[in-house]
Chains A and B, each alone.
Chain A
Amino acid sequence: MVINMNKIGVLGAAVAAMLVAGQAQAADSVNAGASVEIAAPVSITQDTALAFGAIGPSLVAGTVTIALGGGQSVTGGVSALGGTTAAGAFSVTGASGATYGVTVPASVSLTGPGAPMLATLTHDGGGTLTGGTDTFNVGGTLAVGVSQAAGSYTGTYTVSVNYQ
């Protein structure tokens, strides 16, 4: 009987040990970090509107052009008559060192008292936002019709910038 009890004790201990082993599964966890730096969105403002100045039409069609540097020139029957002339000027702000691109429509229609006039547009800009800022200009060539009606002609065009 004593021997039997010893056997029973060993068996019982083995069963108990297996149960302990089953509960002793090793595990661990770590709380890790994640981060991202989100840059300021790129934005644009117009500093100066594109202005072709005052011109005089004639019986011959012609053009008036504003260069990116702001200089005015005329062709054909168009005469330059002074007034305000300026290239469109824009300021871009965003993440320092980021590169950006400029999108400008190919042309814009100017409407006024007479027939609409079409201005084809040129631009520079795009590149690196050194210090987080940059500027660029928009110029254009305005086609002036024969005996274009006198008055003020205006139009709007949308310029957009984006990170690249």
Chain B
Amino acid sequence: MTRTCALFRRVYAVALLAAAFVLSPSLVGGMVGHVLSGWGQAQAQSVNITERRELNFGKVATSSAPGTVTISPSGGKSTTGGVIDLGKNHREARFRITGPDDATVIVTLPTTATVTGGGGSGTLSNFVMDPPNPINLGRRGRANITVGATLNLGTNLPAADYTGNFTVYVDIQ
């Protein structure tokens, strides 16, 4: 009974101290900095993603019927509906991810984005990437991914260069 009470007190004390660490950011920082700095640095390795090439749908024409133009992750171009493929410089997007060796990362693509130009606009959807998630960064801590998407276009859009942006996220799993 006495032993049990003593043990209980000890556990209680530990819990109380742990709570104090949680509630005191400066104390946490101090402890990590002094006692566990090496371990803390190992966990602090970051992941980075950069754009190597932008997504380019090339040249298309619109007509009296709406349609789509799609660039696949391998760079293939296809059209549907009233959109006419006029070729020219279409390219899939390319990104480079760097991070800890052998880390596994998850890439999050947007669900939608917009391109505008000449008073008109188009909507991107169905973003697809290669390779699919999860992605291992391997022994060099590096991976390249390609991204394609579908651009939805309305009827008789004004002639212009249309541009836009989309955000790609990467997280270490």
Contacts and interface: CB of A to CB of B under 8 A. Distances in A.
B122 interface: yes
Contacts of A25: 171-172
B170 A29 contact: yes
B14 A11 contact: yes
A38 B172 CA distance: 38
Interface stretch (A13-21, A106-114, A135-143): A13-21
Interface stretch (A39-47, A56-64, A72-80): A39-47
Interface string A1-29: 00010001101110111011100111111
Contact of B58 (A17, A24, A37, A163): A37
A30 B50 contact: yes
Of the candidates B18, B151, B165, the one having the most CB atoms from chain A within 10 angstroms of its own CB is B18
A163 B59 CA distance: 12
Contact of A27 (B17, B58, B167, B171): B171
Interface in B137-173: 147, 149, 151, 153, 156-172
Contact of B115 (A17, A24, A28, A35): A35
A12 B172 contact: no
Nearest to B36: A17
Contacts of A26: 44-47, 99-100, 171-172
A145 interface: no
Interface string A90-103: 00001101100000
B153 A38 contact: yes
Of the candidates B45, B62, B86, B118, the one having the most CB atoms from chain A within 10 angstroms of its own CB is B86
Interface of A: 4, 8-9, 11-13, 15-17, 19-21, 24-42, 94-95, 97-98, 162-164
7 contacts: A30-B168, A31-B166, A34-B163, A35-B54, A36-B115, A38-B161, A41-B159
